[in-house]
Chains A and B, each alone.
Chain A
Amino acid sequence: MKGLSRDRLWSVLVLLPSVLLLAVFVYGFIGRTVAVSLTDWGNDPAQALALNPVIRPVGLANYQELFTGFLQVRFRQELVNTLFFTVFFIAGTLGLGLALALLLDRNPRGEGLWRTIFLFPMSLSFIVTGTIWRWMLQPQGGLNQFPAVLGLPPGRFEWLSSTASIWGLDWNRVPLLTAAVVALALGVVAWRAARAGNRTRTLVAGACALVLLGWAVFVGPNVQLLPAPEIHGFNLALIGIILAAVWQMSGYTMALYLAGLRGIPEELREAARVDGANEVGLYRHVVFPLLSPITLSAMIILGHISLKIFDLVYAMTGPDNTYTSVPALNMYLTSFRQNQFALGAAIGTILLILVAFVIVPYLSSAFRREEGHA
């Protein structure tokens, strides 16, 4: 114990409370939720709220129910909704944020004022944003009335109430597609490893990709998760929610990008100009590559916001609209309205895993970078 100096003792003492609190209230409760998700708590209404409920372990039955159960169509639609929501929300927020930042970077007049205006939506909570946008997206008011101001016929788009969906996909095809996509990703890894001259990595990744591809081609088409085809697609009513979410968060990405743009030394730009780059080339070859770490961190933040989103949807279309529902909403309803605590815990666990998919690669890359610098 050579390191137990006064300093070290102090640091341990100061950190101990938060470590203990984290251990109990974050990791302890995550563990408890996962444990509950492996039981049948709530499947029998008589036991759900009893004083001393009888709870039996059932393994992964709740997860199986969610992905293949006849009654859990809603959950599967929500997963598809989350996918589309995440893609459009991140793309929209990054795009708009970058555009605003590029405009402000040209030092327009009243820049401080514009910055405040663009950043302002972020100071609202999603509940407030949702309420405002619900008013604006009323079928017979708000945005649809806008053309009438210019003397045109009012719009007919059912922003939040549409039940139409596009890009439908049979849920039975999901395993096949997942295998194909992962195989493709592994193939890319193998190819890059081969170019870098890393033989073991090339072989392992390549073999895995081949196995998955083989599975997708020969076994995948015969996998039948559900007795009948079940089509899930991008519900058009989600567009309204995506609009509101992009409005709320694009100020944040603007601030990030603006900081990044201001951090690029003028010498670099001048050097590029001396080398003969025009404005477009300057952005393409100098500015954007320097902004890519910012894009990555923004994607991580936005990605986990969009996976966990609850309040915005609740405020805009209510808890019972299955066309725009998201897993977090379903988790709340399943646990606290249907009293199916185990099933709710299972949905929560799936959400955690989804968020982990986004966060963990980022954390590991961040750690690696830190080690590299040390």
Chain B
Amino acid sequence: MSDRERDDHTGIETTGHEWDGIKELDNPLPRWWLWIFYGCIAFAVGYWILMPAWPGLHGYTPGVLKQSARADVVKELKALQIQRGQGEAMLASASLQQIEADPAMQAHALAIGQSVFGDNCASCHGAGGGGAKGYPNLRDDVWLWGGSLEEIEHTLRVGVRSGHADTRMSQMPAFGRDGLLQGAQIADLTEYVVSLSGRPADPAAVARATPLFADNCAACHMPTGVGSREFGAPNLTDREWLNASDRASITSQIQNGRNGVMPTWESRFSPGVIKALAVYIHVNAGGGEPSVAKVETPAP
């Protein structure tokens, strides 16, 4: 190497590079920079040894620590299952009433219930349980099969018109489609159902439909139309409608006899989770049954 030029002003050697008359001084690197650089090299060597690093023909070097993100996830999931298992076991061994009455257990059940409800029930019943046309509202006081804790749990376990051996079962016939009733009869029955919920209806049609209702509908909906939880038959005298309350919808239902289906959840969830779900639904529906009101007159 040739003699290096020395900068007159600073007395420091130049690198010999020159750009447009500007020469680069050959100052040493800052010591802190060098140490960090050496540290990085040392770190990299250690990393190769400890961690998975080098690709090969049949996989990669596993490293001394045998670190694996996938194995970590499996481990964490197992730990989570054990952790949740304790809570579920606690719920499984307690009665539904005990769970609801105990603040700690109730909070636990509500947390599980909310998450399971969101994943499995919300697609039909809505994220808040508000239901939709044809899908029952789980937040009101109308319960086709009963709204007590036990009844809710039972419905969850066996489902409605599901494949379960003990499933809750009822069937509204398609009176029109199957030719059981004529079109005029169905029109009269529609007026009759409208009159049941206290709305104005054609009196002549109601009179004509009275024997029809007694013969065809009263077995499930009861002679007064109040429905029956035994058959899951809706109350026709109240102001809540599973489908819709307008005449066209009522006619359509008598004509086609649509029946909803709810799956059985017994095969999918542990008893603890089903209990949690039942408590969640029960608590958020205000206890399922009309509760005793606590009335306080506001101060004048």
Same complex for A and B? Answer: no
Interface residues of A (CB under 8 A from B): none
Interface residues of B (CB under 8 A from A): none
